[in-house]
Structure 1
Amino acid sequence: MSQTTKADANEHVNPHGGVDMNFDHSETATLAATAPATNWSQFGTLISVFFFWGFVAASNSIFIPFCKEYFQLDQIQSQLVGSAFYGAYFYGSLALYLASYLSGTDILNKIGYKKGIIYGLLISMVGSLALAFISGSGNATFPMILVAFFIIALGFSLQQTSAQPFAASLGSPETGAHRLNMAGGVNSFGTLLGPLIVSFLLFGAANATNVKADVSRIQVLYFFLSGLFIFAAIVFSVAKLPKTTTNEKLERSPKALRTLLIIGVVFLPVLFAEAIHENTGVPKAYIIVGSLLVILALLFGSMVAAKKNPVGWGAMSYPQLVLGMVAIFIYVGVEVTVDNNFGALLKRTEFGGFDESQMSHLIALYWGSLMIGRWTGAISVFNVNKKTKQLLTIIVPFIAFAVIVLANLVKGSPIGDYKYYPIFILFLIAANLYAQERPIKLLLSVSVLGVLFILVSLLTTGMTANYAIIATGLCCSVMWPCIFALAITGLGKYTSQASAFLITMILGGAIIPPSQGAIIDLDRGTEVNGITTGPYTHLSYLVPLACFAYLAWHTLKTKSVLKAQGLDVDQQVAGGH
């Protein structure tokens, strides 16, 4: 993967816009004296790319229940939308790293980050056009939809890898953190609007009931997105932008590469689970859960092997990095699975009995919860005193919530379902005030909250359970930067390589959701008057419960690993205040 300049080596962006603020200020005073002021017109174009990522990723939440009904799929099959999307991130990142490894040079650094974004936009444009033509052809099939989503996300993978150093080049490195947080906020706004707009396009009237959507209705949306991709690519191509490169040596890690390649092979059966099932009779659940367990075994096995003999493992010779890779895998997986399987739960009578055309406001609230957390997290980069920061930590979440309410009012969604949700926002505020920006304390706090929220959802029904599930978005919102900061602590020259390995673990979003879907499918055949009555759809949320519990354990384990190396991240942060 790409190497980054000294000034931005510790800033990282996740697929939904979260930013790791482990920022290195050691050279910013010198760099700021010579670096130009932020070029806001060019940065505005970059922000549009962040919006695309969030808009399309969150839109999957509406597409999944829609595709399940339209193409008559089971829950596992419907989750392949997410598998194709997040799998593309993994294969795109792996292909770029492999090409760089074989050529002995950083490919993205060689062509430049500007071209990387342009090529990524063009790839996404091809996928978007394909989806537009497929949806309007009258002969759309589910596999064709999956291929189009895979191509769009493949472009996103390249865009995302390039966007971080590009943002740093559009002004002083000292203000790079502010630009990335602003871009992350726009990304989260995209995740809020995606479900609302796509739902409206699919189902028409905001409060329509039992509307039979037609896949052809999304054709206009994806033609429009194709045009935006092309427009953004043209703007980037004509803009005079600084060339962001580095002379850092590409670190070779053959054993780590071998592990990633094996993971890529192990994941392939997930994408072709339906075909394998039809030809061999092996249950899809066995294929998916088996792949999940093998991938986790490979990662933990690599950590054990690297401890015995670190030669050839590169960044993966550090246990905090491998633990971080597993944690990113689990975190992205739980963030996606909580939501992508939410539609199946909302259709149940005891959870509201919503049909596909009625649930977008609750799905938007889940993604909006991530926006609430990220806007709150962005406060830390501003140079304000402690009392002002604490006051903003209390106020900003409710401002973000007001934006969510306003967006749903404009669409015409029933915002009465939101009236008690501010109670859950108070838990996020309390966690932030308690942690005081210390990554270990914050990650442990939100992981434990995630466990508690899921337990509430498993022990209740109705809007109480729905609220609890949605509130896990508040927990997920701050996890990426915490996990990233802990994983790259103490890695020195391997920091950039570690970042590349961590980004490949977005793969968790492709395999954990269908694993939960396999449990939901145990309820198939228990319909009464078209309504599923079995217990497994509700019990399937034991999967995110296990994920949040693991993340709590991960925090404590990583703390002990770092402490054994003489590193105390929370103490370092506290000392910097």
Structure 2
Amino acid sequence: MASSMQSTQQTTVTGDSGSYRFALVSLTSLFFMWGFITCLNDILIPHLKAVFSLNYTEAMLIQFCFFGAYFLVSLPAGKLVKKLGYQKGIVTGLVIACIGCLLFYPAAAFATYGLFLGALFVLASGITILQVAANPYVNALGSVETASSRLNLTQAFNALGTTVAPFFGAVLILSVASGAVEGLSQAQSEAEVVKLPYLILAAMLGLLALIFSKLNLPTIAEHSDDSATGVITHNGKTSALQSMHLVLGAVGIFVYVGAEVSIGSFLVNFLGEEQVAGLQEAEAAKYITYYWGGAMIGRFVGSVIMQKIPAGTMLAFNAFVAAALVLVAMNSTGAVAMWSILAVGLFNSIMFPTIFSLALRDLGPHTSQGSGILCLAIVGGAIVPLLQGVMADNMGLQVAFILPVVCYAFILFYGAKGSRM
């Protein structure tokens, strides 16, 4: 993966500060869209679980297929972005994501769970290309010292997308699903309701692809060693994998994405538990907004605070509080359990961009390789929710939340010590 993406610390960006700002503003739309689409899975899971009478493990295949794409597609995506450049890579990702949304139409028409999973994989493949291109691009559009703050700011718009998505899904999917369509089986009738939302998303993605194909964005020129051997040494290291803070950062990304996705995926069902809130699916879906809304607020605030407080210290503190809140939700009932689990979103806020920036620090010409490794680690969103689904089926939903607690414990260690190794 060493040549898959341009280095974010050994690069120069062609353009003035005004073009940097324009590029960052443009990129926020991408962060918004993939946040919106990713969070919509939290609505899709309880809907398809009911439509196809799935258990928790089977329902979590939605996240397994979606985030599994990060693991399978990151390497070829990196090569694609390296060949085409960031801007054309972004356009390609948008087009593929648009095709994935369009595939929901035949999946709904045939009411086949396997087709839904296939459509999700194609959609996620496009999102993966966007992630591979956009995150290091944002890192490069400014100084290394403010990279964490800059990524937190753009990720705040990602959280804005996740905040809006539950209302969109609740209104256009879960609320509509309660009404059967004449002449169709119940499964086919309820599957049909996803057509309109994903056709709307396809149109939006197609429009963004057209816009980004026309924009004049800054280009990044790589400052790398072009020696005949092709071996680049930085601080005595020939590979990003020789940097412990990068390796531990990849584990941090794995467990963070896994924990965040697991909690979001089970929220509707958790709030539907009689001992918690006993909410109907459509009503429970609206409360997911508080979870993702907290992440949005935290990232805006975090982008300011982290200019004063060390990123590792902030990360360790947030991980500690997040773990404590999940433990409270596991061991309580009613409003305490409900609001404790929803409040986790606020402390999730700065974790992904902070881990990402800390892991890439001081990698020099190996930053591109490190970026690819971190994108591969997003596969945690496929593995951890599936494991929690197995635990929920065998131990009960509330007890299964111990898995995110373990994830946050590792993040606490990374913020306090691992990122400095």
Residue 480, structure 1, aligned to residue 340, structure 2: no
List aligned pairs for 1:58-137, cutoff 5 A: 58-97=39-78, 100=79, 107-135=80-108, 137=109
Q: CA deviation at 1:354?
A: 1.4
Aligned length: 405
Q: CA deviation at 1:447?
A: 1.7
Residue 353, structure 1, aligned to residue 278, structure 2: yes
Distance in structure 2 (CA, Å) of the matches to 1:359 and 1:59: 14
Q: Which residue matches 1:379?
A: 304
Q: Which residue matches 2:222?
A: 246
Q: Which residue matches 2:7?
A: 4
Residue 153, structure 1, aligned to residue 153, structure 2: no
Q: CA deviation at 1:500?
A: 1.6
Q: CA deviation at 1:177?
A: 7.8
Q: Which residue matches 1:198?
A: 169
Q: Which residue matches 2:36?
A: 55
Q: Structure 2: 5+ residue runs without aligned partners?
A: 228-235
Q: Which residue matches 1:215?
A: 191
One-letter amino acid of the structure 2 residue matched with residue 547 of structure 1: C
One-letter amino acid of the structure 1 residue matched with residue 6 of structure 2: Q
Say which SS state the counterpart of residue 349 (structure 1) adopts.
coil
141-150 or 155-164, which deviates more = 155-164
Q: Which residue matches 1:232?
A: 208
Distance in structure 1 (CA, Å) of the matches to 2:30 and 2:415: 32
User: Does the aligned pair in 1 maintain the 2:107–2:113 contact within 8 Å?
Assistant: no
Q: CA deviation at 1:133?
A: 3.3
Q: Deviations over 1:471-504 (max 9, x none)?
A: 2212211112332343234433322211221121
List aligned pairs for 1:457-468, cutoff 5 A: 457-468=329-340
Q: CA deviation at 1:54?
A: 0.7
Distance in structure 2 (CA, Å) of the matches to 1:340 and 1:188: 15
Q: Deviations over 1:401-458 (max 9, x none)?
A: xxxxxxxxxxxxxxxxxxxxxxxxxxxxxxxxxxx52122212211211221122112
Q: Which residue matches 1:455?
A: 327
Q: Structure 1: 5+ residue runs without aligned partners?
A: 10-26, 101-106, 252-309, 383-435, 524-535, 563-577
User: Would the alpha carbon gap of residues 68 and 176 (structure 1) be closer, same or farther in structure 2, given more than 3 Å must change?
Assistant: same
User: Would the alpha carbon gap of residues 548 and 183 (structure 1) be closer, same or farther in structure 2, given more than 3 Å must change?
Assistant: closer
User: Does the aligned pair in 1 maintain the 2:388–2:403 contact within 8 Å?
Assistant: yes
Distance in structure 1 (CA, Å) of the matches to 2:312 and 2:148: 20
Distance in structure 2 (CA, Å) of the matches to 1:46 and 1:311: 33
List aligned pairs for 1:289-328, cutoff 5 A: 314-328=239-253
Distance in structure 2 (CA, Å) of the matches to 1:556 and 1:174: 19
Q: CA deviation at 1:50?
A: 1.7
Distance in structure 2 (CA, Å) of the matches to 1:477 and 1:54: 13
Bigger relative CO (Cα 8 Å, ≥ 6 apart)? 2
One-letter amino acid of the structure 1 residue matched with residue 213 of structure 2: S
Say which SS state the counterpart of residue 222 (structure 2) adopts.
coil
Percent identity of equivalent pairs: 32
Q: Which residue matches 2:231?
A: none
Q: Which residue matches 2:399?
A: 539
Q: Deviations over 1:501-542 (max 9, x none)?
A: 11210011101011111111126xxxxxxxxxxxx2111111
Q: CA deviation at 1:120?
A: 0.7
Q: Which residue matches 1:495?
A: 367
User: Would the alpha carbon gap of residues 505 and 247 (structure 1) be closer, same or farther in structure 2, given more than 3 Å must change?
Assistant: same
User: Does the aligned pair in 1 maintain the 2:66–2:382 contact within 8 Å?
Assistant: yes
One-letter amino acid of the structure 2 residue matched with residue 132 of structure 1: Y
User: Does the aligned pair in 1 maintain the 2:19–2:218 contact within 8 Å?
Assistant: no
One-letter amino acid of the structure 1 residue matched with residue 7 of structure 2: T
List aligned pairs for 1:398-547, cutoff 5 A: 436-522=308-394, 536-547=396-407
User: Would the alpha carbon gap of residues 484 and 241 (structure 1) be closer, same or farther in structure 2, given more than 3 Å must change?
Assistant: closer
Distance in structure 2 (CA, Å) of the matches to 1:198 and 1:451: 28
Distance in structure 2 (CA, Å) of the matches to 1:360 and 1:372: 19
Q: CA deviation at 1:96?
A: 3.4
Distance in structure 1 (CA, Å) of the matches to 2:256 and 2:29: 25
User: Would the alpha carbon gap of residues 46 and 446 (structure 1) be closer, same or farther in structure 2, given more than 3 Å must change?
Assistant: closer
Q: Deviations over 1:357-401 (max 9, x none)?
A: 11012211111111111111122588xxxxxxxxxxxxxxxxxxx
Residue 550, structure 1, aligned to residue 410, structure 2: yes
Distance in structure 1 (CA, Å) of the matches to 2:359 and 2:148: 19
Q: Which residue matches 1:366?
A: 291
Q: Deviations over 1:335-369 (max 9, x none)?
A: 11112122222221111111211101221111111
RMSD value over aligned CA atoms?
Answer: 3.3
Say which SS state the counterpart of residue 357 (structure 1) adopts.
helix
Distance in structure 2 (CA, Å) of the matches to 1:362 and 1:516: 21
Q: Highest Rg: 1 or 2?
A: 1
One-letter amino acid of the structure 2 residue matched with residue 360 of structure 1: A
User: Does the aligned pair in 2 maintain the 1:90–1:506 contact within 8 Å?
Assistant: yes
Q: CA deviation at 1:333?
A: 0.6
537-546 or 478-487, which deviates more = 478-487
Q: CA deviation at 1:4?
A: 3.2
Q: Which residue matches 1:257?
A: none
User: Does the aligned pair in 1 maintain the 2:155–2:299 contact within 8 Å?
Assistant: yes
Q: Deviations over 1:2-25 (max 9, x none)?
A: 113547x6xxxxxxxxxxxxxxxx
TM-score by length of 1: 0.64
Q: Deviations over 1:296-321 (max 9, x none)?
A: xxxxxxxxxxxxxx997x21112222
User: Would the alpha carbon gap of residues 378 and 544 (structure 1) be closer, same or farther in structure 2, given more than 3 Å must change?
Assistant: same
Q: CA deviation at 1:72?
A: 0.6
User: Does the aligned pair in 1 maintain the 2:254–2:378 contact within 8 Å?
Assistant: yes
Distance in structure 1 (CA, Å) of the matches to 2:402 and 2:286: 24
User: Does the aligned pair in 1 maintain the 2:32–2:157 contact within 8 Å?
Assistant: yes
Distance in structure 2 (CA, Å) of the matches to 1:442 and 1:362: 27
Say which SS state the counterpart of residue 244 (structure 1) adopts.
strand
TM-score by length of 2: 0.86
Q: CA deviation at 1:243?
A: 3.4
User: Does the aligned pair in 2 maintain the 1:37–1:171 contact within 8 Å?
Assistant: no
One-letter amino acid of the structure 2 residue matched with residue 545 of structure 1: V
User: Does the aligned pair in 1 maintain the 2:151–2:353 contact within 8 Å?
Assistant: no
213-222 or 117-126, which deviates more = 213-222
Q: Deviations over 1:254-293 (max 9, x none)?
A: xxxxxxxxxxxxxxxxxxxxxxxxxxxxxxxxxxxxxxxx
